[in-house]
Chains A and B, each alone.
Chain A
Amino acid sequence: MHKSRTVWAAAAGLTGIALAVTGCSTGSSSNSASTASSGGKVTLKVQTFNEFGYADLFTEYMKDHPNVTIVSDKAAKSDDARASVKNSIATSTVTDDIVAADVDWMPELLKSSDFFADVKTTDNAKRWPDWKMAQATDASGKLIGLGTDSGPQGVCYRKDLFQKAGLPTDRAQVATLLGGSSATWDQYFATGQKFMAANTGAAWFDSLGALAQVANNQQAEPFESKSDDSITVAKSDSNASKVFTMLTSHTDQSAHLAQWTDDWTKAFASDKFATVMCPAWMTQIIAGDAPDQKNWDIADVLPGGSSNWGGSFLLVPAKGKNVTEAKALADWLTAPAQAAKVFVKFGNFPSQTDAVKDATVTAKTDTYFNNAPTGQIFSNRFSAVSKQPYRGSHYFDINDQFGKALTRVDVDKTDNAAASWQKFLDAVKQLG
């Protein structure tokens, strides 16, 4: 789950920037001469959540299109934005001309794909890699969402703790240590065992739930069968059960800190764990939660190969008043050039193939991570992502229950692995 979008810890940190920037967005719709075609005035309402980094782009677009006024309608939390999108589908009313949606909501929005306009054009058809397009394409091949950002993952690690444990600290060496381009989970846990044996007082990773996010996303069909959408978790050799067994047998390397809790947030500043799975957007969260901790670094590697966590889309409700103009704006906002600008200023990593290779993107370094070339690293991590797990009708619920099953074993310690797995299966059976 793309929790970063739901959590106020992150939101709180970004609100400052958000407030500063939205201030400009409502400002001048300057009078400079235009290239825009004639036509009546249109007002486009754009609903986003958290920080999409669009304020400057809105101003720029309005300058070029004097007949267009853009109203930013930013939800405080992604929960609110999700409820608002769902309510407008449920009551088939259109309140915003463009709505942003997290990849986690896409399976349910795709079921109501009639509500949204087809946004594919000959220009943007090759803009994203196939896996990103697939997330917003319905069964009949209609594209309902234009991809904005993505979350290719690397491994963030603590140099000082690695040193204490006698492990290499250079980011290239760490990547090799974990297996480089053929990194496996076995190697990750084996290194974890070495690290734990050194008794630094810190754990190897934050929690099983955090790892599950990566491991499940690496399965082609994590919980459901692609062919008939049936739930497969109950089978004894299901992918989910394999991941569960693999993770719960390494509970000893966990810091038992559930993601997004206060304890977890505070842990980035102290010495609680040495590694954390790191989608591009996580770097901002770490830097925000532990501004004084100078030892975080990032390695261009991921156990099990590669994975993407999160990312959003812009959707255009088909019954809106200004569908053509809204489509044009959404298309422009998600074009590679704009996506690259957003990344440079706000750090939302692009999902567009050309933007990822853009020189301004690959040249970006991050002073917080000891000047790590984060642009290049995440560009590499992005290129490695080749597939997207199948997400059926119950993906979100099962994924949530899976996370809770791991939390019971790892964080709460209210159940052992077998009992927690049984509770998981019971909970999945109740879905309907």
Chain B
Amino acid sequence: MVTITELPTRPRDVRPRRRIGMRQRLGRWDVKVSPYLYISPFFVLFAITGLFPLLYTAVVSLHKWNLLTGEGPFVGLKNYVDVLHQPFFWKALRNTFSIFALSTIPQVIIALVIAAVLNANLRARTFWRMGVLVPYVVAPVAVAMIFGQIFSDQSGMMNAILSKVGISPVGWHSNVLASHLAIANMVNYRWTGYNTLVILAAMQAIPNDIFEAAIIDGASRVRQFFSVTIPMIRPTLIFVIITSTIGGLQIFDEPTMFDQQNSATTAGGADGQFVTVTMYLYQLGWGSQNNLGRSAAVAWLLFLVILAISLVNYWFTNRIASDSGAVRRARKVRS
């Protein structure tokens, strides 16, 4: 940047015109290129650790590829066709969506409510705020073991409680919906607190005078929440919803651990009750089929699905947020 300040003081005389030109050009490049250079480490790293694997996976998915014996012949889209023809893939996709819906949606809503409560003037605020983060610190394996005990089919706590109130025991591992509920519980247990804190941080950044204005206008607590709080934290909401969508669609640990009978390469219930797309991907590539080609095809299909869902989410969240139109409308009416 030093060069820039020097430039105007240079006398515009005689010969070294070209050299000044050079300097000028350098200066211009400096201005134009340097910022990109400064942020380039991230993108270089991303290209190596993110983009390259992504593209490499695409290459793998177009070949017959065994994990152990390596690259085979080019087969075009055959792996994709094979995968799409396997009922197990569709089962995995169904399970993934179901677990995603049962976990992410309630999770974000609950997080929003808890954050609103924590944002109020509570006694021992820090205690409550740190409290919601505690489950997030618990290792997924530990969570799975705890919930495994709770949701055991015969000796589990949940079925013991249900039978006390006269409900017949639920087959937590054999019933499709029940298994999804149990797994969604594990996910929510871990992630609700994390999302709560992110949303809470956004809520605290809302200037107080907006609330004061709303109160003067006679807005109730509920009205404040919907017409001021939510529109004001829109960017954060989009962030939370999109990250938990991605996380929800890539769910692996919890359902794998939930199957106590099988190892990671075979888990997911005797009838595929809770096999998810990422589990299916792992089982194809790293199970004894060692079919990395099909596994890569599943990875790309999942990528496309996540992309599509994220776009829908983005559009949807923007709609919610255009509720901020309500604020604008309200202001217009006033003036």
Residues on A close to B: CB < 8 A?
3, 6-7, 77-79, 82-83, 86, 89-90, 107-108, 111-112, 257-263, 266, 394-397, 400, 403-405, 407-408, 411-415, 423, 426-427, 430-432
Contact = CB atoms under 8 A, between A and B. Distances in A.
Given A108-B68, A262-B260, A266-B155, A412 B270 contact: yes
A296 to B, nearest CB: 19
A227 B286 CA distance: 27
A6 to B, nearest CB: 4
Contacts of A395: 288
A3 B260 CA distance: 11
A312 B113 CA distance: 54
Interface string B287-304: 111110010000000000
B139 to A, nearest CB: 12
9 contacts: A79-B265, A90-B68, A108-B68, A112-B69, A261-B173, A395-B288, A396-B288, A405-B270, A415-B271
B70 interface: yes
Contacts of B171: 412-413
B331 to A, nearest CB: 59
B271 A261 contact: no
Contacts of A78: 263
Given A111-B68, A260-B261, A263-B155, A412 B174 contact: yes
Contacts of B265: 79, 82
Contacts of A262: 148-149, 152, 155-156, 260
Interface string B86-105: 11100000000000000000
A87 B287 CA distance: 12
B289 A414 contact: no
A157 B258 CA distance: 29
Contacts of B87: 426, 430
B contact residues, range: 35 or more
A263 B174 contact: no
Contacts of A82: 265
A121 to B, nearest CB: 27
Interface string B56-79: 000000000001111000000000
Given A90-B67, A413-B174, A414-B271, A83 B88 contact: no
Identify which of B68, B88, B153 gathers the most chain A CB atoms within 10 Å of its CB: B68
Contact of B263 (A6, A259, A266, A412): A6
A262 to B, nearest CB: 4
A259 B261 contact: yes
B262 interface: yes
B264 interface: yes
A31 B127 CA distance: 56
Contact of A412 (B88, B156, B173, B289): B173
B317 to A, nearest CB: 38
B82 interface: yes
Given A90-B68, A111-B69, 18 more contacts: A77-B263, A86-B67, A107-B288, A111-B68, A258-B270, A260-B261, A263-B155, A266-B155, A395-B288, A400-B266, A405-B270, A407-B270, A408-B270, A412-B171, A414-B174, A426-B87, A431-B289, A432-B294
Nearest to B171: A412
Contacts of B152: 261-263
B253 to A, nearest CB: 13
Identify which of B171, B264, B269, B288 gathers the most chain A CB atoms within 10 Å of its CB: B288
Contacts of A394: 288-289
Given A79-B264, A260-B261, A261-B260, A86 B270 contact: no
Contacts of A407: 261, 270
Which 4 pairs show the lowest CB-CB distances between chains A and B?
A412-B174, A407-B270, A396-B288, A404-B270
Nearest to A12: B145
Nearest to B262: A400
Interface string B143-178: 000001100111110000000000000010110000
Contacts of B262: 400
Contact of A432 (B67, B69, B287, B289): B289
Nearest to B151: A262
A86 B68 contact: yes
A86 B149 contact: no
A260 B270 CA distance: 14
A43 B329 CA distance: 75
A83 B286 contact: yes
A161 B291 CA distance: 48
Contact of B289 (A397, A411, A423): A397
A397 B271 contact: no
A257 B67 contact: no
B286 A86 contact: yes
A430 to B, nearest CB: 5
A271 to B, nearest CB: 13
A262 B144 CA distance: 12
B294 to A, nearest CB: 8
Contact of B290 (A86, A415, A426): A86
Contacts of A423: 271
A215 B46 CA distance: 52
Given A257-B154, A262-B155, A108 B290 contact: yes
Contacts of A89: 68
A112 to B, nearest CB: 5
A408 B88 contact: no
Contacts of A257: 154
A413 B173 CA distance: 11
A3 B269 CA distance: 16
